[in-house]
Structure 1
Amino acid sequence: MKVIAFGASTSSTSINKALATYTAGLVDGAEVKVLNISDYSVPMFSEDLEKEIGQAEGAQAFLRDLADADALVISYAEHNGHYPAAFKNLFDWATRIDREVFKNKPAVYLSTSPGPGGAQSVLAAAVGSAPFFAGNVKASLSVPNFYDVFDLEAGQVKDDAVNAQLKEAVAKLA
């Protein structure tokens, strides 16, 4: 199984990318490719610009990479209760090329934050909107208090309960 994982963030120290990477690695025998959202440069979306330049190359590349997957593990960063602007912009460009961005591939949606909220607002938005973009969410999980449950140096979850929940979630990708 080929799993594409990414954190919906452009931060070089993204805790959501760390969580997605770790979680994808829990898929037995999977070949995991971790995407970096910063690699998909797109200008700020507007219909006027779209008429001028057509389809943004960064969005085309993003869609090509997603097409290679058998399954997806996405961890959504939250900025003020919503998607980070850079991810939302890339997603907007991608949906103009192909509204069915996720192609009904089985997916695990995650979110995390340093605090007790675990980025639940953005996760709820992502899960709620998934059907409009051919998202096939098999499981979703918010992980609060990231730095208490994740060992950044080791790149792994250190909380047994969270680890069990993540393993249960990825088992649904098969």
Structure 2
Amino acid sequence: MSTPKLLAISGALRAPSTNTMLLREAARLFGDAEIEFADIRFPLYDTDDEIATGIPAAVQKLADQIATADALIISTPEYNKGIPGGLKNALDWVSRCEGNPLGGKPIATMSAAAGRAGGERAQLMLRECLVPFGPRLIVAPEVAVHDSSNQFDEKGQLVGDLYRANLEKLMQALRAAI
């Protein structure tokens, strides 16, 4: 098998985001792979804008990245018991692109948040938002990193054995699904 191509999507837009750190750690634990990080900074989806100007180039780029990836890893923070608007907006935009790049695609979900549940509700909402696309969701073992700002060392690696072990198992399941 050739080197798998992974697309990482962070639901957090902040540069120092622990969700982006979690994706980097997931890619490291996945092992040999080509990894690309998506940019989901898009204009707010508006049907009138789509009719007037079409699909933005940045959105089409994401749809193309998804289509050419062997698998996706998506990490989301939890904002008010759900996924952030930017992540939902990106999914809404992708749904407007030709074809269904997410259809049948293996996707591992995870979350990192400040709260004690580690973003579990947001991760559940993310999975529900993905269902209409028909991907192959890899959901076990669950990785929901609580108190996320204190769970990574200076190299950006998880400090807790349980999180690291579960993330490694999740990445093994994703590799097997490719």
Fold in common (TM above 0.5): yes
CA distance in 1, matches of 2:114, 2:6: 26
What is the deviation of 1:141? 2.2
CA distance in 1, matches of 2:109, 2:98: 20
Contact 2:39–2:62, Cα closer than 8 Å, also in 1: no
Tell me the residue number matched to 1:58: 58
The structure with the greater share of residues assigned to strand is: 1
What is the deviation of 1:64? 0.9
| Deviation per residue, 1:76-122 (Å, 9 max, x gap) | 12221222222222221111114734232212100110221211111
Tell me the residue number matched to 1:20: 23
Task: Find the residue that maps to 2:15 and give its secondary structure.
Answer: coil
- The CA RMSD measured in Å over matched residues stands at 1.7
Task: Find the residue that maps to 1:74 and give its secondary structure.
Answer: strand
Task: Find the residue that maps to 1:96 and give its secondary structure.
Answer: coil
Tell me the residue number matched to 2:165: 164
Tell me the residue number matched to 2:43: 43
CA distance in 2, matches of 1:162, 1:4: 21
CA distance in 1, matches of 2:7, 2:85: 21
CA distance in 2, matches of 1:130, 1:99: 15
Percent identity, aligned pairs only, is: 28
Tell me the residue number matched to 2:147: 145
Contact 2:64–2:101, Cα closer than 8 Å, also in 1: no
Misfit runs of 4+, over 6 Å: none
Compute the TM-score of the two structures, normalised by the length of structure 2.
0.87
Range with bigger deviation, 17-26 or 128-137: 128-137
User: Superposed, which structure 2 residues align to 1:97-136 within 5 Å?
Assistant: 97-98=97-98, 100-136=100-136
Task: Find the residue that maps to 2:7 and give its secondary structure.
Answer: strand
Query: Which of residues 3, 7, 27 is equivalent to 1:4?
Result: 7
Contact 1:6–1:21, Cα closer than 8 Å, also in 2: no
CA distance in 1, matches of 2:131, 2:84: 20
CA distance in 2, matches of 1:133, 1:155: 32
Query: Which amino acid is the alignment partner of residue 117 of structure 1?
Result: A
Query: Which amino acid is the alignment partner of residue 125 of structure 2?
Result: A
What is the deviation of 1:132? 0.9
Query: Which amino acid is the alignment partner of residue 13 of structure 1?
Result: P
Contact 2:83–2:123, Cα closer than 8 Å, also in 1: no
